[in-house]
Homo-oligomer: A and B are copies of this chain.
Amino acid sequence: MKQKIRMGMVGGGIGAFIGGVHRMAAALDGEIELVCGAFSSDPERSRASGAQLSLPPDRCYGTFEEMIRREKRLRPDKRMQVVSIVTPNHVHFAPAKMALENGFHVICDKPLSFNMKEALALEKLVAKSGLIFALTHNYTGYPMVKQARQMIRHGELGPIRKVVVEYPQGWLSTKAEDTGSKQAAWRTDPSRSGIAGAMGDIGTHAENLAEYITGLHITELCADISTFVEGRLLDDDGNVLLHFNNGAKGILHASQISAGEENNLNIRVYGEKGGLEWRQMEPNTLIVKWLDKQTQIYRTGVGPLYPESLAHTRIPAGHPEGYLEAFANIYRNFAFCVRARIEGREPDPMYTDFPSVQDGVRGMQFIEKVIASGKSKSKWVGM
């Protein structure tokens, strides 16, 4: 009888958005069981949240420190094995550090940390601990994103020349942080979010997606960073020119004041032989355009696809898979790797693909450079 991986959660009390997402993603495949949590810095709220989640009171902790300390003392076959961190940016580092130092694998929301210093410290800690660390850049979990990456990797589009990656949202078009939105409040607060607003929250997703799909690295950027909503403390829009390590050029723009846009992450990549286009809001479709033949519509689970794509879909073609399923792919692969580690074997390479602490460091570097470029009068800033 297979044992589920036992997980503790930091953050994600009742009413939080991303905590619920992580729990649904973790539950979907029956690989992981939530066994404890420090859901809130208020012990009462933490316990109430845990009760709602069918957790016994003695596994609902008031702080992550308490959770890690006390779980560590439980019997090995009972205590949590992994820690999921779903707090705002400024509370990623401390629980991740403590978890790693106490032998727990970690899965952490993005961006990796509050600043670059923390990011580099975590990178070192992960290396030193030998533990597994996953970062939930969930958009790389979609089957059609896997397909896109493999098509480029196998040279189907030829050498890449141009990349256009966009992440427009409209939900911060007005000053939502003043009207009681918790989501808006911490994301626009430099003391919780860090030096970047939109560029950290969603710009890093765009950067990660572009590098993941193309397999290229951004080497230079030139950014025009704006705050459109009066009185807002962080950026809510950014337009960025990109240079890639192979000579490709690109554009990245992310915005939270693109009025009427939902969550419209999308990417187009053009090579010498063809181009591709993927849109997160219709994630099961990948358009592939060719120089000299008809455009093709690749669809999740349909026709010949790379095994890396097929391995990340759960249901037959035409049964749409969405955001939670892509998110769950990160959790499932993380769980597979943790299980292999526990069982002392190598994980199946097909399921080792999830964002790492290095991807997190890269994201923090993007944040630092794009904000610096926004303030600079020089055209290009190295990255």
Which A residues contact B (CB, under 8 angstroms)?
1-4, 17, 20-21, 23-24, 27-30, 34, 50-57, 157-158, 161-162, 164, 166, 168-171, 173-174, 222, 224, 226, 228, 237, 239, 241, 243, 249-251, 253, 255, 257-264, 268, 270-275, 280-284, 287-299, 302-304, 314-325, 376-380
Contacts of A53 in B (CB 8 A): 2, 30
Tell me the interface secondary structure of chain A in the complex.
Answer: loop
A273, chain B: closest CB distance, angstroms? 6
Cross-chain pairs A/B with CB under 8 angstroms, 29 sampled: A1-B51, A20-B315, A24-B314, A27-B28, A28-B324, A170-B270, A224-B243, A239-B249, A239-B250, A241-B241, A257-B270, A259-B270, A259-B289, A260-B275, A261-B318, A262-B317, A263-B317, A290-B303, A293-B303, A295-B297, A296-B297, A315-B323, A319-B322, A320-B322, A321-B323, A322-B325, A377-B379, A377-B380, A378-B378
Contacts of A325 in B (CB 8 A): 322, 324
User: Which listed residue (B21, B251, B281, B318) contacts A263, Cβ 8 A?
Assistant: B318
Q: Does A54 lie within 8 Å of B303, measured CB to CB? A: no
User: Which listed residue (B255, B289, B299, B320) contacts A283, Cβ 8 A?
Assistant: B320
Bound complex: CA A40 to CA B322 (Å): 30
User: Which listed residue (B173, B298, B323) contacts A272, Cβ 8 A?
Assistant: B173
Bound complex: CA A251 to CA B240 (Å): 9
Q: A249-B226, A258-B270, A290-B259 are in contact. Are A169 and B275 (CB under 8 A)?
A: no
Q: Does B241 lie within 8 Å of A239, measured CB to CB? A: yes
Bound complex: CA A268 to CA B259 (Å): 11
Bound complex: CA A254 to CA B264 (Å): 21
Residue among A282, A287, A322, A377 with most chain B CB within 10 A: A322
Q: Does A273 lie within 8 Å of B289, measured CB to CB? A: no
A208, chain B: closest CB distance, angstroms? 17
The 7 A-B residue pairs with the shortest CB-CB distance in the complex, in nearest-first order? A260-B289, A262-B318, A263-B318, A322-B322, A320-B322, A319-B323, A295-B297
Bound complex: CA A157 to CA B255 (Å): 17
Q: Does A17 lie within 8 Å of B316, measured CB to CB? A: yes
A169, chain B: closest CB distance, angstroms? 7
Contacts of A291 in B (CB 8 A): 170, 173-174, 259-260
Bound complex: CA A239 to CA B318 (Å): 21
Contacts of A228 in B (CB 8 A): 161-162
A242, chain B: closest CB distance, angstroms? 8
User: Which listed residue (B55, B262, B324, B378) contacts A321, Cβ 8 A?
Assistant: B324
Q: Does B275 lie within 8 Å of A259, measured CB to CB? A: yes
Bound complex: CA A162 to CA B299 (Å): 23
Q: Does A258 lie within 8 Å of B275, measured CB to CB? A: yes
Contacts of A162 in B (CB 8 A): 228, 237, 255, 257-258
Closest residue to A60 on the B side, CB-wise? B1
Q: Does A253 lie within 8 Å of B377, measured CB to CB? A: no
Contacts of A243 in B (CB 8 A): 224
Contacts of A268 in B (CB 8 A): 258
A77, chain B: closest CB distance, angstroms? 13
Closest residue to A378 on the B side, CB-wise? B379
Contacts of A170 in B (CB 8 A): 270, 275, 289, 291
Contacts of A288 in B (CB 8 A): 260, 294
Q: Does B275 lie within 8 Å of A1, measured CB to CB? A: no
User: Which listed residue (B30, B173, B262, B295) contacts A54, Cβ 8 A?
Assistant: B30
